[in-house]
Amino acid sequence: MPSPRPKIPVQDLHQPAFLKFLSLFSILLYVTGGFFLLIMWPSLPDQIPAHFDATGAVTRLGSVWTLVALWITGAALFVFMHIMERFPHIHN
* Residue 13, in any domain of the structure: no
CA dihedral 20, 24, 25, 28 (to 10 degrees): 180
pTM above 0.85, yes or no: no
How many angstroms separate the CA atoms of 40 and 44, rounded? 6
pLDDT digits (tens, 9 = 90+) for 32-91: 999 999 999 999 999 999 999 999 999 999 999 999 999 999 999 999 998 888 777 777
Q: Is residue 38 a part of any domain in this protein?
A: no
Looking at the domain assignment, is residue 3 inside a domain?
no
Short-list 44, 79, 86, 81, CA closest to 65: 44
Please report, as a single letter, which amino acid is at residue 68: V
**From residue 36, how far is each of 20, 47, 67, 71 by CA, in Å?**
24, 18, 12, 11
Domain that holds residue 63: 46-92
Structural domain tally of the chain? 1
In a domain? residue 9? no
In a domain, 21, yes or no: no
User: Is residue 80 in a domain?
Assistant: yes
